[in-house]
Chains A and B, each alone.
Chain A
């Protein structure tokens, strides 16, 4: 296997696969869209071509069968139906597995025989009993007479090179009325191909047949030549989309117009039964891109190995640390030196610019993250017998590649969880006075230096009492801890490891892992997780992530003689601790921030030094975070830092990592969430603030 070709092939193949899946799902609601059909066909064709070069015979064979099916759909020899969509989607999954095997350096094994057989039978028009999933799709898979535009003339004659060649000519119906005897349909063309090549058609290399290969076998190059001769510039996979399919000018214009007026919202209906509502779902039209624009994009786009970008990002991180040290060194100079100050300022600005530019290199649109979701919703809703409309907003919002990569699994968990637990069955929804079809909304919103990703549904919401009861039953928390929980804390129990409201494990949920994965992933990405629920109305889970993972703005603080850092993103504000605002509640020390907000106090002295801070006898300042008020000796200042992982600590600790301060010292970065959770879990022990000589408030 040529590793260089493989390295080029894999990313392109994955993109093609993602696009093919996206397009296949679009075919469900828009089965007559020739452009989408052609796009899927091109994807399989290109996948097959690349696999041929890699000698991945089973992948070639698999994509060939799918290509065959798509070719007949594209030429309207067959009409698409639900069974075909299912088969194509499952076929895509098999290709995905094969690509993973390729990525591991293995030659992919054969795909599932049963599915392969099904795809071949569908392509041959032998399975007419397919179940239609959508109203507009006809369940009749009987080959229909090809349209007059698709009439082809085939002839076998020597090529320029003197070898035997197969020539195909497309003729207009008006001018070909007299050639009835010479004309063949696509089906006849296929039959001719079979007669010519038998089971050794280009790309088909069944293991059982391989020993019978003879001089009739053609190489991938020859296969491409045949295709070129057959289609000329209209060859499948050819880069000019306008020329690939016989789409009439009128329909193309109308689709372009639709693309122009379409709002930036994609709505994908995944109802499992034929329903007129499906047709109400807004039509998704692929962006109309001219060949020139595509060519221009190809010329100005460079595919770079992610590892190289990571290396650049790490180097920028080191540059940021050096910048901090330079600023600190100049700041500590005894007398002011204008030149040095100016140089420091210019270095500061330049490093910021470099950091910002490199950060943008790693940014990817959320579309990459969201494109798998329609499939997830479709499959899960079918499995659960629920009707769901998925709305996706903000696909263009960009976020760090690390976040996009890491969130793929959690997004699936969130959607499956929402479908399984949040969304009611159609009958229940009707009984509750809601529409039969539930709505799940996935949105990406740009907020300053953060991106918020929301997954919300209009389902039944979360019953905090039920959740608490289940958590106690499953031993996630004790009854005593349960008694101390606020309503919000009770709802957040769903993120605890091992928690599930299902008593039985199913394909969708029940293991108590999914939501824990969501929480852990958000924590690792230095994000923030929020949940909001209204019984009977729905649940919204939002995750906020920093735009970039490379640089972390931190606030330095002092606890007695030691310096720590806290991510700025977790800080609400800095407070002067007032004794009269400290209260005791359910065995915890709490602080009254204002008239409405009362939050737990986190005594950092007790947690980290095992010696509580004493208000009145030593300086104490408060850092208000979303989960609690952290008590420290002094707040020092902020800085942009670079996080260095600390792998040698126990799995559960209070640190996000370490950084190097401007003065060159290693400083531990505290995890505000972990600190607050510890206080919530361990109640009063760790949160009693000692008030010197005055007694507890």
Chain B
């Protein structure tokens, strides 16, 4: 692991957060649009109203999940930055030992300190992996939420087809909803890929 890799994760987190927030806002707007459309048509589109309501509620749940995602990113970055810092320390002690002519005999405290740093780093790496695992779980939940949202969109398409005779542009609304959900799904998938590569590297290191 190096600083470049961590910076890539930071960038990916920022981009994912931006993209998810925007897409969730879009989902919320689509859902509200659908609810306005339903209200304008009275009871004729009551079935689609239920779908739109569910879509908006799911969007709110996704928003909450996304905020949990943000809560986990900062500790993860902090943990990796600390690991890097402590690796530097350990590295410097290692260099001191290597540079000493009495290597391995004259400075037992130095060796002990260096070993202590190595242990601390290992503990921190375990902790970081835990945070990463938690983050991946959150991402997993977000993806499950997206799948449920896709299911709601499918239901919406069925309702739209059933209510086609009313003349309301429900198919277009459903299509817009589907696109908004796909945007979120894509952003999350890309982010997950970044996190998994980090996890892979961390595991290799361990």
Query: Which among A448, A449, A450, A569 has the greatest number of chain B C-beta atoms within 10 A?
Result: A448
**What chain A residues lie within 8 Å of B44 (beta carbons)?**
448
**What chain A residues lie within 8 Å of B26 (beta carbons)?**
576
**What chain B residues lie within 8 Å of A574 (beta carbons)?**
29, 32-33, 36
The answer to the question of A553 belonging to the interface, with a C-beta cut-off of 8 Å to chain B, is yes
A643 and B44 alpha carbons, distance in the complex (Å): 24
Cross-chain pair count, CB within 8 angstroms: 43
The answer to the question of B109 belonging to the interface, with a C-beta cut-off of 8 Å to chain A, is no
Q: Is the interface of B mostly helix, strand, loop or mixed?
A: helix
The answer to the question of A638 belonging to the interface, with a C-beta cut-off of 8 Å to chain B, is yes
**What chain B residues lie within 8 Å of A547 (beta carbons)?**
42
For chain A residues 630-665, which have a beta carbon within 8 Å of chain B?
Answer: 635, 637-638
A449 and B43 alpha carbons, distance in the complex (Å): 7
The answer to the question of A477 belonging to the interface, with a C-beta cut-off of 8 Å to chain B, is no
Please state if B36 and A448 are interface contacts (CB–CB under 8 Å). Answer: no
- Shortest Cβ distance from B133 into chain A, in angstroms? 26
Whether A638 touches B36, Cβ cut-off 8 Å, given contacts A448-B166, A576-B26, A576-B29, is yes
The answer to the question of A155 belonging to the interface, with a C-beta cut-off of 8 Å to chain B, is no
The answer to the question of B5 belonging to the interface, with a C-beta cut-off of 8 Å to chain A, is no
A607 and B24 alpha carbons, distance in the complex (Å): 30
The answer to the question of B8 belonging to the interface, with a C-beta cut-off of 8 Å to chain A, is no
For chain A residues 552-584, which have a beta carbon within 8 Å of chain B?
Answer: 553, 555, 568-569, 571, 573-574, 576
- Shortest Cβ distance from B115 into chain A, in angstroms? 48
- B contacts with A, residue count (CB < 8 A): 17
The answer to the question of A621 belonging to the interface, with a C-beta cut-off of 8 Å to chain B, is yes
**What chain A residues lie within 8 Å of B193 (beta carbons)?**
none
Please state if A638 and B35 are interface contacts (CB–CB under 8 Å). Answer: yes
Closest to B29 in A: A574
**What chain B residues lie within 8 Å of A569 (beta carbons)?**
40
A638 and B44 alpha carbons, distance in the complex (Å): 18
**What chain A residues lie within 8 Å of B32 (beta carbons)?**
555, 574, 635, 637-638
**What chain B residues lie within 8 Å of A621 (beta carbons)?**
29
Contact among B25, B40, B56 with A449 in the assembled complex (CB-CB below 8 Å): B40
A281 and B72 alpha carbons, distance in the complex (Å): 79
A184 and B22 alpha carbons, distance in the complex (Å): 94
Please state if B29 and A448 are interface contacts (CB–CB under 8 Å). Answer: no
Please state if A568 and B40 are interface contacts (CB–CB under 8 Å). Answer: yes
Please state if A568 and B36 are interface contacts (CB–CB under 8 Å). Answer: yes
- Shortest Cβ distance from B155 into chain A, in angstroms? 19
A588 and B77 alpha carbons, distance in the complex (Å): 49
For chain B residues 32-81, which have a beta carbon within 8 Å of chain A?
Answer: 32-33, 35-37, 39-45, 56
A637 and B39 alpha carbons, distance in the complex (Å): 12
Please state if B29 and A635 are interface contacts (CB–CB under 8 Å). Answer: yes
Please state if B29 and A638 are interface contacts (CB–CB under 8 Å). Answer: no
**What chain A residues lie within 8 Å of B36 (beta carbons)?**
555, 568, 571, 573-574, 638
For chain B residues 8-32, which have a beta carbon within 8 Å of chain A?
Answer: 25-26, 29, 32
A571 and B42 alpha carbons, distance in the complex (Å): 14
Please state if A573 and B33 are interface contacts (CB–CB under 8 Å). Answer: yes
**What chain B residues lie within 8 Å of A571 (beta carbons)?**
36, 40
- Shortest Cβ distance from A546 into chain B, in angstroms? 9
- Shortest Cβ distance from B64 into chain A, in angstroms? 13
Please state if A553 and B29 are interface contacts (CB–CB under 8 Å). Answer: no
Closest to B176 in A: A573
- Shortest Cβ distance from B147 into chain A, in angstroms? 21
- Shortest Cβ distance from B60 into chain A, in angstroms? 10
A573 and B169 alpha carbons, distance in the complex (Å): 11
Please state if A448 and B40 are interface contacts (CB–CB under 8 Å). Answer: yes
- Shortest Cβ distance from B159 into chain A, in angstroms? 15
Digit string of A266-284 for contact with B (CB within 8 Å is 1, else 0)?
0000000000000000000
- Shortest Cβ distance from A312 into chain B, in angstroms? 21
Q: 29 pairs across A/B with beta carbons < 8 Å? A: A448-B40, A448-B42, A448-B44, A448-B45, A448-B166, A449-B39, A449-B42, A449-B43, A547-B42, A553-B39, A555-B36, A568-B36, A568-B40, A569-B40, A571-B36, A571-B40, A573-B37, A574-B29, A574-B33, A576-B25, A576-B26, A576-B29, A635-B29, A635-B32, A637-B32, A637-B56, A638-B35, A638-B36, A638-B39
Known: A568-B39, A574-B36. 15 other contacts (CB 8 A): A448-B41, A448-B44, A449-B43, A547-B42, A553-B39, A568-B40, A569-B40, A573-B33, A574-B32, A574-B33, A576-B25, A576-B29, A635-B29, A635-B32, A638-B32
Q: Considering the complex of A and B, which 9 residue pairs feature the smallest CB-CB distances, nearest first?
A: A449-B42, A448-B41, A448-B42, A568-B39, A553-B39, A448-B44, A574-B29, A574-B33, A571-B36
